[in-house]
A and B are shown apart, each in its own frame.
Chain A
Amino acid sequence: MIRDVNRAYNSECSYAPYLRTRTDTQSIMTDVCIALIPSSLFGIYYYGFRAFIIIIITVAACVGSELLYEMLLRKKITIQDRSALVTGLMLALCLPVSVPYVMPLLGGVFAIIVVKQLYGGLGRNIMNPALAARCFLHISFAGYMDSVDAVTGATPLAVLKNGGNPPLGRMFLGLIPGTIGETSVMAIMIGAVYLVYKKIITLEIPLAYITSFLICIVIYSLISGQTISIDYCMAHIFGGGLLFGVFFMSTDYVTSPVTFAGRCVYGIIAGVLTALFRVAGPGAEGVSYAILCADMTVPLMELMMTRRKEYGKI
């Protein structure tokens, strides 16, 4: 239910209803940006000024390329809906602080032009632009995205794989090596709580995702003989950018299904794939590829939902 204050509609247009909600695309995107502020601030605090520069470059690349694209192709300018801003911020928070500046620039341009605009603009893309750009950078600049592991020491997930005990407390606060915005669980959760409070996201995707992920991890661990403890599960949840992916990336409206049931299925697919990539693959990129794969099943899922039994009925 949406509890709202009305606005009267622009009277030049003569269609009922003449009252509309005050929430529009711009206000939703602004709220998402606000929810990302805690993670951004933490990243800047922990990694320093360079993190701030990377955020600026990514956001400028995204907004700038959208503006340029729309101007060159004489389309309606849509940068004021702030969706490019959100994409830029999300992409920046996925990058390690040590990346050369050309990567956020290229990533931003790729995210907006290739992943979003070439598919038809806002609302038409199949893959999450920020995630797809992150994966593009991971594939094209393989060494640089993993540089944090080599330079600053083992990430908690690597420790976990080797059977060690990762520091949960420091993972919660974010005082561990990783990308700019994905490490501080506390900051992510503040943002997530804000999004739920503002009714931007609902909890079916996060719950489906985390639950299915945990179940798969537990099953794998039982099979492989690893000891399972609460700490072990928490470490898997806190690490590898999972919570950032769960609350910010997978809940993106455009790339997730529109109905409750669809979203639960989507969350489960993403959770299972994340678990699979994490245990079978070497790196910490499991989350982004899993969400992208789940994104790609969404059009098929929705095609199945709109199959009509007879004309005029759904």
Chain B
Amino acid sequence: MAAYRGIRIDIRKKLTENSRITVYDYSKSLEYVYPTGTHIGAPAVPVVKPGQYVRTGEVIASAGNGVSANVCTCVSGTVKCIEPRKVLSGGSSMSVVIENDGKDVCIGNKYTRRSYVDSAQKKESIINAIKNTGIIGMGGAGFPAHIKYTPKDSNCIRYIIANGIECEPYITSDAALLTEEPDKIIGGIMLLLELFGNAEAVIAMEDHNIRAIQAVNNAIHNSESSKRISVKVLDTIYPNGAEKKLIRRITGINVKASELPSEKGCIVSNVHTIKSVYDAVYNNMNIERIVTVTGEGIYNPGNYRVRYGTSVADIIAYAGGLRDNKVVMIAGGPMMGTKVEDINGPVTPVLSGIVCLPQSIVYDGGNAASSNCIRCGRCIEVCPCRLKPLWEEHSTECIGCGCCSYVCPAGRELTMSMRKILNAE
């Protein structure tokens, strides 16, 4: 009985783990689409009008009431229209559509390093930079970062965990960022350490990311504040990267379903989010992320640096295209991601990768439809939240990781039933 449960699966990161970041030329795409409802909370309200000229980094939709975030454009050009557009998962979201003029005129840099009167002013300007550029959690949830970084009492935060685990199979976007730009991630962590004076920072990674671990360790030695930053390497188990499970593994603190990590003194952010904080504070920009286009169904798998708003169809074409028309594309990882219903949907800050799985590796054992539960207990054995999925019970503790459905020999849709119950509540 292991203390940390989960599944050890074939992570198939070999396709892209050694791929250097390839920059997708932003000028190739003519249209950039910005949905206003990507983040958790109230959708953003468009503040531009069709025909208006906007510059790269300008706010085109500002945060709604309550929990919300700004949306900024990542290219310069004219606002084509504001209308509902399909997103990758097939749903529709009110979006601001920008016609790219290819010139990448930026709004300029108001927040570069300058002397601050006191640390409170510096903290305020950091939070303002994060808020203005509309940074949301880039690990997949999309929670507005400026709200996460302003808990009731910032002195109670003891741990800042930079989540570089990326436990989903196939996806290597965080790994590529950690390998090639660890200094920016360290820079972002330093900014967060300014916000939370009592905290120490831990960069969490999995042990298969050998190059990333080396790069990060070198970057820490080269930076001034190696005292407050440490690296923790965990063995590769899915789902290591789940926020509350990660907190428990690194700090031993148990955060229940009804609690927020900040209430227990922890802040967990994806390394991409932290790097965006660095970009926002020093360059006033939050315009791009690494998207891993991978899978056996695509010709040129790799880690692509893409600006938000780019049509995924353009990226797929840039990556060599799909091998055949039966390839299944999944936005995010194959365990918790969603099937891509409309390939023309835009890249958003929460899109870590597109996994293209060909039909040839679809298991065709004849028993694909789910059959009777044989009470083998494997789902209980692997559940990281110690639930009992075979009885498909209500539980707010379920994180929707998919371990139960993965191991079920009868092919029962356990994750789906747990999630349906959760969504209904």
Cβ of B164 < 8 Å from any Cβ of A?
A: no
Partner of A314, one of B326, B338, B388: B388
Q: Which of A40-48, A181-189, A253-261, A268-276 contacts B (4 or more CB under 8 A)?
A: A253-261
Partner of A253, one of B1, B237, B375: B375
- Evaluate contact between B382 and A306: CB separation under 8 angstroms: no
**Cα distance, A254 to B270, chains bound together (Å):** 42
In the complex, the answer to whether A2 meets B7 with C-beta atoms within 8 Å is: yes
Kindly identify which residue among B169, B408, B416 contacts A19, using a CB–CB cutoff of 8 Å.
B169
> Is B334 part of the contact surface with A, judged by Cβ < 8 Å?
yes
Determine whether the beta carbon of B328 is less than 8 Å from that of A18.
yes
Pick from A13, A15, A25, A258: contact of B367, CB below 8 A: A25
A253: which B residues are within 8 A, CB to CB?
Answer: 374-377
Which residues of B lie under 8 Å from residue A306 when comparing CB positions? 388, 391, 393
Number of interface residues of A (CB under 8 A): 49
Contacts A306-B393, A312-B394, A313-B395; is A11 near B10 (CB within 8 Å)? no
The B-contacting residues of A in range 69-100, CB under 8 angstroms, are: 78, 80-81, 83
Are A16 and B336 in touch, CB under 8 angstroms? yes
Which A residues touch B397, using CB under 8 A?
313-314
Inter-chain contact A17/B371, CB cutoff 8 Å:
no
Contact between A1 and B2, CB atoms less than 8 A apart: yes
Complex-state Cα separation, A8 to B373, whole angstroms: 21
Q: How far is the CB of A89 from chain B (nearest CB, A)?
A: 17
Q: A18-B328, A18-B330, A122-B371 are in contact. Are A7 and B361 (CB under 8 A)?
A: yes
B67 at the interface (CB under 8 A from A): no
Given the interface pairs A4-B10, A258-B390, A312-B395, the reply to whether A24 lies near B375 with Cβ below 8 Å is no
Interface string of B245-264 (1 = CB under 8 A from A): 00000000000000000000
Answer yes or no: B173 CB below 8 A from chain A CBs. Answer: no
Interface residues as binary, A31-47 with B (CB distance below 8 Å gives 1, 0 otherwise):
00000000000000000
Q: Does B122 contact A (CB under 8 A)?
A: no
Provided the pairs A5-B10, A80-B367 are in contact, do residues A11 and B359 lie with their beta carbons within 8 angstroms? yes
Within 8 A of A (CB), among B215-236: none
* Interface presence of B396 (CB below 8 A): yes
- Which of A5, A18, A21, A257 sits near B407, CB closer than 8 Å? A21
B388 neighbours in A (Cβ, 8 Å): 258-259, 305-306, 314
In the complex, how many angstroms separate the beta carbon of A281 from the nearest chain B beta carbon?
30
Q: Which residues of A contact B380 (CB under 8 A)?
A: 258-259
Which of chain A's residues has its CB closest to B378's CB? A2
Residues A28 and B406 in contact in the complex (CB < 8 Å), given A17-B415, A18-B330: no
B372 interface contact, C-beta 8 A: yes
Select from chain A the residue with minimum beta-carbon distance to B405: A17
Q: Are A25 and B8 in contact (CB under 8 A)?
A: no
> How far apart are the CA atoms of A22 and B361 in the complex, in Å?
11
A4 CA / B10 CA spacing, docked (Å): 7
CA distance A260 to B425 in the complex (A): 30
How far apart are B12's CB and chain A's nearest CB, in angstroms?
Answer: 7
Residue of B339, B380, B406, B410 with most partner-chain A CB within 10 A = B406
Query: Contacts of B409 on A, CB cut-off 8 Å?
Result: 21, 23-25, 27-28
What is the chain A residue whose CB lies nearest that of B358? A8
Rounded to whole angstroms, the CA-CA distance of A259 and B397 in the bound complex is: 19
**Contacting B406 at CB < 8 Å: which of A19, A25, A122, A257?**
A19
Chain B residue at minimal CB-CB distance from A27: B409
Instruction: Identify A258's interface contact among B371, B377, B382, B410, CB under 8 A.
Output: B377
Q: Nearest A residue to B410 by beta-carbon distance?
A: A25
CA distance A45 to B331 in the complex (A): 58
| Partner-B contacts on A (CB < 8 A) | 1-11, 13-28, 78, 80-81, 83, 121-124, 253-254, 256-260, 305-306, 308, 311-314
Can you list 28 A-B contacts (CB < 8 A)?
A2-B378, A4-B407, A7-B362, A8-B361, A9-B362, A10-B363, A10-B368, A11-B326, A11-B328, A16-B330, A16-B336, A17-B336, A20-B363, A21-B406, A22-B363, A23-B409, A25-B367, A26-B367, A78-B372, A123-B375, A253-B376, A254-B375, A258-B376, A259-B388, A305-B388, A306-B393, A314-B395, A314-B397
